[in-house]
Structure 1
Amino acid sequence: MDRIRIIGGNPLNGTIPISGAKNAALPLMIAGLLTPETLILDNVPRLADVAQLQRILGNHGVDITAVGKRVGDGKYQGQTLQISAADIIDTTAPYELVSRMRASFWVIAPLLARMHAAKVSLPGGCAIGTRPVDLLIMALEKLGAEIAIDGGYVVAKAHGGLRGGHIDFPKVTVGGTHVALMAATLAKGTTLITNAACEPEVSDLAECLIKMGARITGAGTARIEVEGIDRLHGARHTVLPDRIEAGTYAIATAMTGGDVQLEGARAELLQSALDVLKEAGAEISVNADGIRVRRNGNGIRPVQVATAPFPGFPTDLQAQLMALMVRAQGSSAITETIFENRFMHVQELARFGARISLDGETARIEGISTLRGAPVMATDLRASVSLVIAGLAAEGETMVNRVYHLDRGFERLEEKLKACGAAIERISD
């Protein structure tokens, strides 16, 4: 199993190209099930989750062709996927595929909308709380689906097709909004989605669906209206840049010091995180090529932050910010409001010498001046990169184990950091 070895202490200087967003690419790929015509997606990141979803879609009979430059061939660009679901041969998504990635459960929406039937295993993915699918099921039921749970599978039917309805989410759910949007595009009549997620990845999916012929208004707000149509057609769409990757490298730069240009990053996608980094002492400037992050020899200032749905501080940057606050000059507090059980990185950060105490949903961090390298274990995708950030600033050697979590969400992590001066390498046993 691969490990990542880091010798800490080097500031980061240079340019890091920001990949396409994993959290946008996955629902966009799934949307390819909605049409028998070809959907072309540009700027798709090369990630383990993307490859896994390709296998899941292939199980349904989807033909996917990947084209574009290979990694390392000149200037970075993501891959282009040509997704053709002309013939859906199977409406079952089996446990052995879905159990590895939670987002794959979302295939239930286009399968139900287009084929009027779906049988999808209850999902797996990162073990950060229960993250139940009850809101996704509720959304489909509001559109007339008949749903039963049988042997660990969600069995859904829509006799005569889905019908428009009013989906009012009791709490903001990105996955639920993705599912509602996709299902509603082919439903008969008008669907109103209220308390919808406003995340940029939801807007990106809606933009692609509109290119495919869908009639959607209000995406990016809490109130989305969808007028169903009989058939969607093919389209070409570019995946938006990954705001979580951009925020992660911005935090890494603040942690180590230095000067890094985040090429292709869009400030409006992560403004709340950039504001927090400014408060912590980083210099942030937006330019035509992306976002520039700098921190000179000045210390890191403590902050008080609570995660929140977009446009608030993203839960997917909480672990990375906590790593940064370990070296702040004073006491910080980070409150997690989105997912329970998302503080599993705390015990691993403690191996660097971090002083963190937990009080319910809040982590209190007493900053220290020096971190010591240590062997650590990744527990989930975002937690694992927080350990890399700590290792970049720690004295001596850090060995990050179970890095398959990183490969699910960060493309060419070691290569991008090494190009900016980090002493980091992957070790394959």
Structure 2
Amino acid sequence: MAKLLTIQGGKPLEGSVRVRGAKNLVPKAMVASLLGSEPSKLRNVPEIKDVEIVTNLLTIHGVTVDVEPETGDLTLDPRQMRNAEHSEIDTHAGDSRIPILFCGPLMHKNGEAFIPDLGGCRIGDRPIDYHLEVLRTFGAVVDKQVTGIHITAPKGLKGAKLDLPYPSVGATEQVLLTAVMAEGITELKNAAVEPEIHDLIAILQQMGAIISVNTDRTIRIEGVDRLSGFRHRAIPDRNESASWASAALVTRGDIYVRGAAQRDLTAFLNTYRKIGGEFEVDDDGIRFWHAGDPLKPLVLETDVHPGFMTDWQQPMVVALTQAHGVSIVHETVYENRFGFTEALKRMGASIQLHRECLGSNPCRFGQRNFLHSAVISGPSELKGTDIDVPDLRGGFSHLIAALAAQGTSRVTGIEIINRGYERFIDKIAGLGADVEMTGR
């Protein structure tokens, strides 16, 4: 029997929650530990599915992973690292796309890598072909097989010059994890510069890597022969922080997010204030609340950092259904990220999707027939309904909508939300939500 979450909506969420390390950093930091010749310690690690998947993948490759759940500390010892059976990798990879990032470290240490077919959230075109092309640029030989992809580097990995057509986070991570021990110098132009990328660079630098980041999105890496371990506290999850902030806004609540950091939420906080939300920053976190006045509509465009990130868009769309007037949201990062709005429309939201670019930001999707702009009219009275979670951020956005709606919502597919939100059911219950979990 699948898990079913029943939500009785209409109650403001009030109280406090704690966020730990960023889902978009922690699994990659765990992969980086493969490169070390000594154990590493990663602090502030959340209990999420992606961490479990990477822990399992590291374990089958001979890495010892010790967990301290109360403190969120992981000790990762790669000194007995070995090749894993293909069937084991396939079993433990799950729906995560993280295995593609194992390739560089595994080739440096074991001479080869194998990755199965990759899953992940169905929010747009996230092909691994570009990852493979990056690896070929370093000298890797890619053999696509029925069961997956076998990658070797018979002549070793060499530094390379790369220019990304789009500042992809995944491609930038791939280059960093491969270039740090490649022979020679690597230059990456048009790199992603998200806070999680800078935190990964800080980790690699602790290990002995030589990496510089220029203001024009160029990253320069000088390859080294050996890397040691690291001791690092992961930056807080800015996506989870923004999600709780939106939950406070939509439910007319008041939530103190312990661990939230203002610096990496600048674009979100500006938008939050424009729509009519209030926040207060202190040394331990940020308090978010609905100020009481009608929420204001706005025009919003997603962008790479330092812009308004795409992962903030979906929970903010739920808030905009409660704004008085017409809002426009232009998604420029993932072309299919508005699929989650179908459930919102069944709940009573007024949302129209358009193929045109309803914004001024440069966009790759305007001539490609994707529904990537949304017009939202509000306020809408949301009513409970049955929901099947489509993806991570869309799923949490559905929870926010259900918590604000009048009546009962029944939510399935919540396992996807576990990929990036630690103990989220306990947290919403602790904020006063009326929720019940059934099934296994």
1:370-400 C-alpha deviation (Å, 9 max, x unpaired):
2111121111111111111101111122221
**Is residue 31 from structure 1 mapped to residue 32 from structure 2 by the alignment?**
yes
Matches within 5 A, 1:266-345: 266-345=261-340
1:226-245 C-alpha deviation (Å, 9 max, x unpaired):
11111111121111100000
Q: Is the 8 A contact 2:276 2:291 kept in 1?
A: no
Tell me the SS of whatever aligns to 2:178: helix
**What corresponds to 1:74 in structure 2?**
none
**Is residue 85 from structure 1 mapped to residue 86 from structure 2 by the alignment?**
no
**Is residue 383 from structure 1 mapped to residue 394 from structure 2 by the alignment?**
yes
1:131-190 C-alpha deviation (Å, 9 max, x unpaired):
001222222222222223232533222224211111211111111111100111111111
1:262-284 C-alpha deviation (Å, 9 max, x unpaired):
11111121211111111110012
Q: 2:382 aligns with which of 336, 348, 371?
A: 371
Q: Is the 8 A contact 2:349 2:381 kept in 1?
A: no
Tell me the SS of whatever aligns to 1:147: strand
Alignment gaps of 5+ in structure 2: 356-371
**Is residue 16 from structure 1 mapped to residue 9 from structure 2 by the alignment?**
no
Q: 1:116 aligns with which of 93, 107, 111?
A: 111
1:415 and 1:19 map into 2 onto residues whose CA distance is 15
Tell me the SS of whatever aligns to 2:25: helix
Q: Is the 8 A contact 2:325 2:377 kept in 1?
A: yes
**What corresponds to 1:426 in structure 2?**
437
**What corresponds to 1:349 in structure 2?**
344
**What corresponds to 1:65 in structure 2?**
66
Q: Give the C-alpha shift of residue 92 in structure 1.
A: 6.1
Q: Give the C-alpha shift of residue 47 in structure 1.
A: 0.8
The verdict on how the C-alpha distance between 1:385 and 1:221 changes in structure 2, with shifts beyond 3 A counting, is: farther
Q: 1:139 aligns with which of 124, 134, 137?
A: 134
The verdict on how the C-alpha distance between 1:116 and 1:198 changes in structure 2, with shifts beyond 3 A counting, is: same
1:322 and 1:258 map into 2 onto residues whose CA distance is 17
2:381 and 2:336 map into 1 onto residues whose CA distance is 27
Q: Give the C-alpha shift of residue 91 in structure 1.
A: 5.7
Q: Give the C-alpha shift of residue 301 in structure 1.
A: 1.3
**What corresponds to 1:73 in structure 2?**
none
2:227 maps to a residue whose letter is L
Range with greater deviation from structure 2 (219-228 or 18-27): 219-228
1:12-41 C-alpha deviation (Å, 9 max, x unpaired):
222221121111011001111112311111
Q: Give the C-alpha shift of residue 216 in structure 1.
A: 1.2
2:46 maps to a residue whose letter is P
Q: Is the 8 A contact 2:24 2:196 kept in 1?
A: yes
Matches within 5 A, 1:384-423: 384-423=395-434
2:346 maps to a residue whose letter is R
Alignment gaps of 5+ in structure 1: 70-76
**What corresponds to 1:201 in structure 2?**
196
2:338 and 2:25 map into 1 onto residues whose CA distance is 25
1:36 and 1:326 map into 2 onto residues whose CA distance is 52
**What corresponds to 1:103 in structure 2?**
98
1:289-344 C-alpha deviation (Å, 9 max, x unpaired):
22121213212211211111111111112211111111111111111111122222
Q: Is the 8 A contact 2:49 2:419 kept in 1?
A: yes
Q: Is the 8 A contact 1:98 1:105 kept in 2?
A: no
2:153 and 2:163 map into 1 onto residues whose CA distance is 20
2:195 and 2:350 map into 1 onto residues whose CA distance is 34
With normalisation by structure 2, the TM-score equals 0.91
2:25 and 2:215 map into 1 onto residues whose CA distance is 14
**Is residue 168 from structure 1 mapped to residue 163 from structure 2 by the alignment?**
yes
Q: Is the 8 A contact 1:4 1:400 kept in 2?
A: yes
Q: Give the C-alpha shift of residue 95 in structure 1.
A: 3.3
Tell me the SS of whatever aligns to 2:286: strand
Tell me the SS of whatever aligns to 1:23: coil
The CA RMSD over aligned residues, in Å, is 1.8
1:415 and 1:224 map into 2 onto residues whose CA distance is 41
2:91 and 2:385 map into 1 onto residues whose CA distance is 35
Q: Is the 8 A contact 2:328 2:373 kept in 1?
A: yes
1:358 and 1:312 map into 2 onto residues whose CA distance is 22
1:424 and 1:296 map into 2 onto residues whose CA distance is 25
1:155 and 1:195 map into 2 onto residues whose CA distance is 28
1:391 and 1:216 map into 2 onto residues whose CA distance is 45
Runs of 4+ in structure 1 deviating by more than 6 angstroms, as ranges, are none
**What corresponds to 1:188 in structure 2?**
183
Q: Give the C-alpha shift of residue 3 in structure 1.
A: 2.1
Tell me the SS of whatever aligns to 2:24: helix
2:80 maps to a residue whose letter is D
